[in-house]
Structure 1
Amino acid sequence: MTRTTIKALLLGASVLAYAGAASAEDVTLTIESWRNDDLAIWKDKLIPAFEAKNPGIKVVFAPSAPTEYNAALNAKLESGSAGDLITCRPFDASLELYKKGYLADITKNPGMENFSDVAKSAWTTDDGSAAFCVPMASVIHGFIYNKDAFDKLGITPPKTEAEFFAALEKIKADGTYIPMAMGTKDLWEAATMGYQNIGPNYWKGEEGRNALLKGEQKLTDEQWVKPYEVLAKWKDYLGDGFEAQTYPDSQNLFTLGRAAIYPAGSWEIGGFNTQAQFKMGAFAPPVAKDGDDCYISDHTDIGVGMNAKTAHKAEAEKLLTWISSPEFADMYANSLPGFFSLNKTAVKMQDPLAQEFVSWREKCKSTIRSTYQILSRGTPNLENETWVESANVINGTDTPAVAAEKLQKGLDSWYKPAK
């Protein structure tokens, strides 16, 4: 072997050794999540975009099944084996993780200024002093309708309560379609797509919700009973046997073209786009009367925080800052139409139905579901009780006034507003 050959081999070995050392310095961050339906979006779009700008940091997205996530995550956190970033459910489940010291305080992390207080409310301490997750997306409530049916019957999307019932009456009189696809068997549907959908227009969104938290308003007040009075009138337009109708039944009735209107959460958009063979439109929850301010349930759905015990704090903070950016907001929201960015920088949606939903933010005030923050910590749980009473009111087994009294009595039994 010549000296030149030996030199070349030694040089090659040193280059390989250097390359090995460089790659050994790469930090790998793992993201825990319950959303396994967006695995491809993270792998193919989001992670490559971040890694391209941050050489030396690799990211692995490691979801669990949604029903197993809470238990699996808690076990990993207790044993010290959880990932560096933790996908956060809204409100109490994540607040509990923060209180136990599992989620880091990220209040001052660069990018957090890109979110409003309403956006951050699901991942902030009760006193508002610390934030522990970056808000990623919300879902918006409204109504999706069969555009072909509306065109055929000469119906314009309603803006007021009176116009809404006039449209339902016209659809019912024609007889071709069930006016509205919603059942009460699964209970949550009646509350989430019913009460929490139309209610904010009556209790004035955050104004009413915060007054309820402070004990300045009660569920027996007119503005909280009125949505139930409106819901009670839905009964005549839900079709035969709606009391035994499940959530998947409602979805099928609408996508098969048998119902004209679907009280909706924006999470339906992706599925409906693939299943419905007709043109769809959407309208915001109708206001009580012309000229009223409008409010929408723009409900905080998913965030991401940092494992307080991560060995890669600086790198995890970099990833959180990128997730807080308008670039991430655009990529995420357009990859998952119906899950809307909570970033202050408005995202132009490519999907027309999603764009219709998100456009309501420009003209209406956003709020979150009234039962989610603080008010469902005790027993009876106000969220679950609202499911039951919303179904009872629509079924006609409880009057709006009785339903409101039951809910307030249950809340009074354990909730003492901070004065």
Structure 2
Amino acid sequence: MSKLLQAFLVTVMIAGVLIGCSSNDENGNDNNGDSVTLSLYSTVTNEADKTAMEDMIAKFEEANPDIKIDANFPAGEYESQLRVKMAANDMPDLFDTHGWAQNRYGEYTMDLKDMDWVENLDPALEQIFKDESGKVYAYPINQAKDGLTYNKNVLDEYGITPPETFDEFMEALETIKAESNGEVTPLWFGGSDYGAFGQFFDQFATPLLITHPEHDYSEALLDGTFDWEAYTFLPEKLLEMQEKDLINEDALTAQGHQSDSLLAQGKIAFLMGTTPVNAVKELNPDAELGVMPVPAIHEGGKQSWIGGERHTFAIWKDTKHPEETKKFIEFLAQPENVQALAEGTSLPTGLTNASADIYYQTYYDEYSDVVVEPYFDRVFLPSGMWEPMGTAGQELLSGALTPEGVSEKMATEYNRLLEQKGSE
């Protein structure tokens, strides 16, 4: 055998060994095809939610050693990262639709209607996760019921009943400021994240523009004819709160995580949305928080919960591992796991096969007759409006925009995104 031939055979043998030692093939399988790795993206941000999710993933991997899950929690970068993946048609195997199961992510999701857990889907969520053809777009880990979180210790100290109208809300804020000599922030914003102001505008837009029969602009919002002058009430009130020192002085620079410590110290009265209670109770076991629906704005109006889809998992329709991803979803749908994730995230379950012992359940029961309305932006605004809605609040409080300027910015972005959607 020639030296040239010998060298060639050695090269072939080495290449074969290297190929055989490769840890994963193009489908995410290991070298023997014994296990697969699923990519998973979630929008959970606070530590309690993240811990609950990671614990469940670890439990699944222990029960299914042939399936590994590469979990990603990009927080504020989630939307931008998923947009890049959508554009490349290279989605994670499992991903959170965070309120956009049909409108934003629908064309990328596998139809889950034949899975066993669907028969236990909470009827309140059917219009969100099912379309007219019967397609089921995602699995609900929990469901949202947002309003305002309040510090019960503070309200009790100053004899304040949770307000039912916006006027009563403003009165409560002023009472807290006066009675506490400015030591308690009436309404607190972690406004370094524009989403804090987006939450204010989004939640209060429902009683302002949708739920009162004499102030129902839903058709105009959907067909593109809405006059944004009717929206100006909200930035006017937010600016009024700033001018009257009813919100924190550092509202534009404060970070969301700071609220836990301030709530525990009794330094905050109200927050937008539903605040997880675990971290607050760890800092002060005597702290008591409550939740209440969004106050009515117009005379004769009713309070509303704002909610629907919160955390979910959809399966990418082109995943190379359909059976393994479904196995993970079915694992989550087991009653004990439904309960564990709901309690870990302090939110109601998305399925009817389990109930959760969550801190705020007493308050949800108290307001059980209050209708849950969908998030305003998810139904009535084109995709992409969340950022301009939130940044408009930052610009308002920094003095860069007037209340009228906020409405003009909203109109401009609304029309731009509608035209962009129409040209797609």
Q: Same fold (TM over 0.5)?
A: yes
Q: Deviations over 1:192-215 (max 9, x none)?
A: 1x1123222222369968535522
Q: Residue 150 of structure 1 aligns to a residue in which SS?
A: helix
Q: Distance in 2 between matches of 1:115 and 1:204?
A: 27
Aligned to 1:109: 115
Q: Residue 276 of structure 2 aligns to a residue in which SS?
A: helix
303, 310, 316: which one aligns with 2:312: 303
Code of the residue aligned with 1:300 in structure 2: it is: E
278, 293, 314: which one aligns with 1:270: 278
Aligned to 2:409: 406
231, 240, 246: which one aligns with 1:233: 240
Shift of 1:407: 0.8
Q: Distance in 2 between matches of 1:195 and 1:79?
A: 33
Cα gap change, 1:173 to 1:31, in 2 (>3 Å): same
TM-score, L = length of structure 2: 0.70
210, 221, 237: which one aligns with 1:204: 210
Aligned to 1:320: 329
Q: Distance in 1 between matches of 2:371 and 2:34?
A: 45
- Contact kept? 1:115, 1:342, Cα under 8 Å: yes
Aligned to 2:293: 284
Q: Distance in 2 between matches of 1:386 and 1:139?
A: 20
Aligned to 2:168: 163
Aligned-residue sequence identity (percent) comes to 15
Aligned to 1:6: none
Equivalences for 1:359-374 in 2 at 5 Å? 359=365, 362-372=368-378
Q: Distance in 2 between matches of 1:196 and 1:73?
A: 22
Shift of 1:310: 5.1
Q: Distance in 2 between matches of 1:130 and 1:252?
A: 40
Query: How many residue pairs are counted as aligned between the two chains?
Result: 376
Q: Deviations over 1:283-302 (max 9, x none)?
A: 22222267533222215232
Code of the residue aligned with 2:249 in structure 1: it is: G
Unaligned runs of 5+ in 1: 1-23
Which is further off, 161-170 or 271-280? 271-280
Aligned to 1:38: 52
Unaligned runs of 5+ in 2: 1-31, 45-49
Shift of 1:317: 3.7
Q: Deviations over 1:272-326 (max 9, x none)?
A: 2323452222322222267533222215232112344556645644553554565
Q: Distance in 2 between matches of 1:210 and 1:107?
A: 30
Q: Distance in 2 between matches of 1:161 and 1:228?
A: 14
Cα gap change, 1:405 to 1:413, in 2 (>3 Å): same
Code of the residue aligned with 1:383 in structure 2: it is: W
1:62 is aligned to 2:76? no
1:133 is aligned to 2:141? no
Q: Distance in 2 between matches of 1:91 and 1:218?
A: 23
Shift of 1:383: 1.5
Cα gap change, 1:389 to 1:130, in 2 (>3 Å): same
Aligned to 1:387: 390
Shift of 1:333: 0.5
Q: Residue 355 of structure 2 aligns to a residue in which SS?
A: coil
Shift of 1:161: 1.8
Q: Distance in 1 between matches of 2:118 and 2:376?
A: 24
Aligned to 1:89: 97
Q: Deviations over 1:340-389 (max 9, x none)?
A: 333356834332xx324644773222233333468454xxx422111122
Cα gap change, 1:317 to 1:342, in 2 (>3 Å): same
Aligned to 2:193: 186
Shift of 1:415: 0.8
- Contact kept? 2:146, 2:274, Cα under 8 Å: yes
Code of the residue aligned with 2:175 in structure 1: it is: K
- Contact kept? 1:139, 1:267, Cα under 8 Å: no
Aligned to 1:415: 418
Aligned to 2:24: none
Which is further off, 112-121 or 35-44? 112-121
Q: Distance in 1 between matches of 2:329 and 2:95?
A: 11
1:334 is aligned to 2:340? no
Aligned to 2:6: none
Q: Residue 294 of structure 1 aligns to a residue in which SS?
A: coil
Cα gap change, 1:135 to 1:305, in 2 (>3 Å): same
TM-score, L = length of structure 1: 0.71
Shift of 1:190: 1.5
Shift of 1:189: 1.1
Q: Deviations over 1:82-130 (max 9, x none)?
A: 88x5132335699776636xx42224433335446873666678x8774
Q: Distance in 1 between matches of 2:57 and 2:417?
A: 45
Code of the residue aligned with 1:37 in structure 2: it is: T
